[in-house]
């Protein structure tokens, strides 16, 4: 056997790295990878600084600092009306990425089918394949990326081990309604199918709408591992801090892998977050904060030739460009960087082979001067 025989022969480098490098090389305005270009709250930085100086510099408890798990439990109960025991049903992770990867590795056996909704965030599929699972994609339909529940139901069968959902949705910015969640609940009812619910953008929802967490629905919650990210919520994507919650029997299995995967994550930051989370306004104000950015950006490009349907959640805006060019999204995204010095994400990388729509994804978690620069370029195309 070849010593470099790949376990993921079809996987190259993630789009966020390839486009990010191209953007840097060409000094482009970067609205590609999702991260804020502004500083987090000074108070949070102070708390982290304090925690380091107070000596929280050795291993944290394996499941996470207890005070942090307690405050996460309170937050979820307050927002979604479900109690997760801090002792046995909450684990602090190295970002949502680890929570997702650990969940898939803990539950997916070779031959198991895992249903994902496409476009899908790019970390799900390789993780499923790495553990021998079979990816069963269901495509969202049309220019509004709508869910076809009949189609979803038709792929659920005896081999289905897990379903992965993501609301608010990256990259489309769509959010699922109560009716979506109820339909999902109805289809899974009576089965042994697990739900991996990626809710990293739970606090970034616009226009008075509400995030529908799987935690709100009793039957869904009983089969769900829910993943969240402090990176998105507190403008600290580089810290790679997140958590996941699940009923005890599921969390026991998650923990078996987590303890050998990372054992525990940054101690001082957990201490700081447990203090910072005592003030719900820090996350409850996030929707308004990003809605203003969305509206600022959309207002600045309203005269452009891109077609715009305002995003409902996340810090991503899709722009449709069929009035501008026939190019495939990857080609157009690259040309935008090379010729116009503006970087975006082509969403075909999150889609199936048949995908042929003309959308690019722009991250508006940026200061107004950057949004102005991007708008100037978009208006000139």
Extract the runs of DSSP E, i.e. beta strands, from 219-334: 224-229, 242-245, 307-308, 316-320
Q: Which of 23, 34, 297, 375 binds ligand GLN (CB under 6 A)?
A: 34
- Of the pair 230, 377, the CB lying nearest ligand PMP is at 230
The correct pick among 33, 88, 357, 379 for binding ligand GLN (CB under 6 A) is 33
Task: Map the footprint of ligand GLN across residues 342-361, applying CB under 6 A.
Answer: none
In whole angstroms, the minimum distance from the beta carbon of 2 to ligand PMP comes to 32
Burial degree of 130 (CB within 10 A; 0-12, 13-18, 19+): middle
User: Count H helices, E strands: the chain?
Assistant: 15, 13
For residue 242, the partner it binds in ligand GLN, ligand PMP, none, with Cβ less than 5 to 8 A by kind, is ligand PMP
Least distance from C-beta 157 to ligand GLN, angstroms? 30
With respect to ligand GLN, which residue has the nearer C-beta, 34 or 64? 34
Toward ligand PMP, which CB reaches closer, 86 or 231? Answer: 231
User: Encoding tokens for residue 225?
Assistant: 């591992």
Residues found near ligand PMP in the complex (CB under 6 A): 34, 95-97, 121, 166, 170, 198, 200, 229, 231, 237, 240, 242
Which listed option, ligand PMP, ligand GLN, none, makes contact with residue 229 (CB within 5 to 8 Å by class)? Answer: ligand PMP
Chosen from ligand PMP, ligand GLN, none, partner binding at 18 (C-beta under 5 to 8 Å by type): none
The option from ligand GLN, ligand PMP, none interacting with 95 (CB < 5 to 8 A, set by class) reads: ligand PMP
Site for ligand GLN in 84-123 (CB under 6 A): none
Using the minimum distance from each CB to ligand PMP, give the nearer residue, 14 or 357.
14
* Sequence-distant (≥ 6) Cβ neighbours of residue 159 within 8 angstroms: 111, 112, 113, 134
Chain residues 10-29 in contact with ligand GLN, contact rule CB under 6 A: 14, 16
The answer to whether 274 contacts ligand GLN (rule: CB under 6 A) is no
H or E element in which residue 51 lies: helix 42-53
Question: Which residue in 63, 98, 167, 170 binds ligand GLN (CB under 6 A)?
Answer: 170
Choose among 213, 224, 220, 217: nearest CA to 246. 224
- Residue 40, contacted partner among ligand PMP, ligand GLN, none, CB below 5-8 A by kind: none
E-state strands within 167-315? 194-198, 224-229, 242-245, 307-308
**Closest by alpha carbon to 326, among 358, 349, 348?**
358
Instruction: Evaluate whether 224 touches 55 at the Cβ level (below 8 Å).
Output: no
Answer with the entry of ligand PMP, ligand GLN, none that 33 interacts with (C-beta below 5 to 8 A by kind): ligand GLN
Contact 11, 124 (CB under 8 A): no
**Segment holding 139, helix H or strand E:** strand 134-139
Q: Among the residues of 62-177, which ranges form H helices?
A: 66-80, 95-107, 124-130, 149-155
Cβ proximity to ligand GLN: between 169 and 223 the closer is 169
Report phi then psi at 342, rounded to 5: -135, 125
The contact set with ligand GLN (CB under 6 A) reads 14, 16, 33-34, 170
């Amino acid at each position: 056997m070849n010593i470099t025989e790949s376990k993921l022969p079809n996987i190259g480098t993630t789009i966020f790295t390839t486009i990010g490098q191209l953007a840097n090389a060409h000094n482009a305005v970067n609205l590609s990878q999702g991260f804020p270009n502004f500083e987090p709250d000074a108070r949070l930085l102070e708390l982290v600084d304090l925690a380091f100086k107070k000596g929280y510099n050795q291993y944290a408890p394996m499941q996470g600092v207890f005070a942090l798990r307690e405050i996460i439990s309170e937050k979820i109960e307050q927002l979604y009306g479900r109690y997760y025991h801090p002792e046995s049903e909450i684990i602090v992770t190295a970002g949502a990425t680890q929570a997702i990867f650990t969940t898939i590795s803990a539950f997916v056996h070779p031959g198991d089918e895992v249903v994902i909704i496409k476009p899908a965030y790019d970390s799900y599929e390789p993780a499923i394949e790495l553990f021998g699972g079979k990816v069963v994609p269901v495509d969202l339909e049309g220019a509004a990326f709508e869910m076809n529940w009949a189609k979803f139901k038709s792929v659920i069968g005896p081999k289905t081990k897990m379903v992965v959902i993501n609301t608010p949705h990256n990259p489309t910015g769509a959010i699922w309604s109560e009716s979506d969640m109820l339909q999902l609940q109805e289809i899974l009812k009576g089965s042994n199918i697990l739900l991996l619910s990626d809710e990293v953008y739970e606090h970034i929802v616009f226009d008075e709408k509400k995030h529908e967490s799987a935690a709100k629905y009793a039957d869904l919650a009983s089969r769900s591992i829910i993943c969240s990210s402090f990176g998105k919520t507190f403008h600290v994507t580089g810290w790679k801090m997140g958590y996941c919650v699940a009923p005890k029997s599921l969390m026991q299995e998650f923990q078996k892998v987590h303890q050998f995967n990372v054992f525990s994550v940054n101690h001082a930051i957990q201490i700081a977050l447990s203090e910072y989370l005592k003030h719900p306004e820090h996350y409850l104000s996030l929707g308004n904060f990003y809605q203003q950015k969305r509206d600022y950006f959309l207002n600045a490009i309203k005269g452009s030739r891109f077609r715009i349907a305002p995003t409902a959640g996340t810090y991503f805006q899709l722009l449709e460009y069929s009035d501008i060019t026939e190019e495939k999204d990857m080609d157009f995204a690259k040309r935008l960087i090379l010729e116009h010095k503006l970087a975006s994400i082509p969403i075909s990388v999150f889609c199936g082979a048949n995908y042929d729509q003309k959308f690019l994804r722009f991250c508006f978690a940026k200061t107004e001067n950057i949004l102005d620069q991007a708008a100037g370029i978009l208006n000139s195309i």
